[in-house]
Amino acid sequence: MPTFELSSASPTEAAADALIVPFFQGREPGPGVDVVQRALGADLMSTLADHGLQGKVGESFAIPTFGKIEAKTVVLVGLGKRKEAGTQAIRKAAMKVTRSVTKFHTVASTVHQVGDSPQASAHAFAEGVALGAYRFDRYKERPIDSASQEKPKLAKILALTNGRRSASQTGLTRGQVYAEAANWARDLVNTPAIDATPSYLADEARTMARRSGLTCKIWTKAELQRGGFGGILGVGAGSVNEPRLIELTYEGGGNRAPIGITGKGVTFDSGGLSIKDAAGMEWMKADMGGAAATLATMRAVAELQPRVDLIAAIPSAENLPGGSAIRPGDVLRHRGGKTSEVLNTDAEGRLILADALAYLAEKKPRVIIDSATLTGAAMVALGNDVYAVIGSDQQLIDALLAAGREEGEQGWELPLWTDYRRHIESSVADVKNMGIRWGGAITAALFLKEFVGDVPWAHLDVAGTAFAEQSGDLWPRGATGSPARTLIRYIEGESGRGRAPRTSAPKAKASAPRKASSRKSSAPASGSKRTSARRG
Residues engaged in binding ligand BES (CB under 6 A): 269, 287, 344, 346-349, 373, 375-377, 379, 434, 440, 463
Q: Which is nearer to Zn ion, 25 or 274 (CB)?
A: 274
- H helices of 237-348, in order, are 278-281, 289-304
204 lies in the site for Zn ion, by CB under 5 A: no
346 lies in the site for Zn ion, by CB under 5 A: yes
Q: Which amino acid is at 478?
A: G
278-337: contacts with Zn ion (CB under 5 A):
287
Alpha-carbon distance 76 to 508, whole Å? 37
Q: Which is nearer to ligand BES, 347 or 488 (CB)?
A: 347
**Cα 218 off chain centre by:** 22
The burial class, CB within 10 Å (0-12 / 13-18 / 19+), for 239 is buried
Contact status, residue 338 vs residue 430, Cβ threshold 8 Å:
yes
389 binds, among Zn ion, ligand BES, none (CB under 5 to 8 A by kind): none
User: Among residues 307, 350, 485, 489, which one is catalytic?
Assistant: 350
Give the shortest CB-270-to-ligand BES separation in angstroms.
Answer: 10
Could you give the dihedral angle defined by the CA atoms of residues 175, 181, 184 and 188, in that order, rounded to the nearest 10 degrees? -140
User: Among residues 210, 276, 364, 405, which one is catalytic?
Assistant: 276
Q: Which is nearer to Zn ion, 171 or 349 (CB)?
A: 349
Sequence-separated (6 or more) residues with CB below 8 Å from residue 337:
228
Contact status, residue 466 vs residue 376, Cβ threshold 8 Å:
no
Residue 147: phi and psi, rounded to 5, are -75, -50
60 binds, among ligand BES, Zn ion, none (CB under 5 to 8 A by kind): none
238 lies in the site for Zn ion, by CB under 5 A: no
Does the active-site annotation cover 350? yes
Q: Which of 180, 187, 251, 269 binds Zn ion (CB under 5 A)?
A: 269
* Interaction mask 348-387, Zn ion, x per CB under 5 A: xx--------------------------------------
376 binds, among ligand BES, Zn ion, none (CB under 5 to 8 A by kind): ligand BES
Beta bridge partners of 388: 412, 461
204 binds, among Zn ion, ligand BES, none (CB under 5 to 8 A by kind): none
Q: Interhelix angle for 165-190 vs 118-132, to 10°? A: 30
Alpha-carbon distance 306 to 250, whole Å? 10
Does the active-site annotation cover 68? no
Give the shortest CB-237-to-ligand BES separation in angstroms.
Answer: 16
Active site residues: 276, 350
Site residues (CB under 5 A) for Zn ion?
A: 266, 269, 287, 346, 348-349
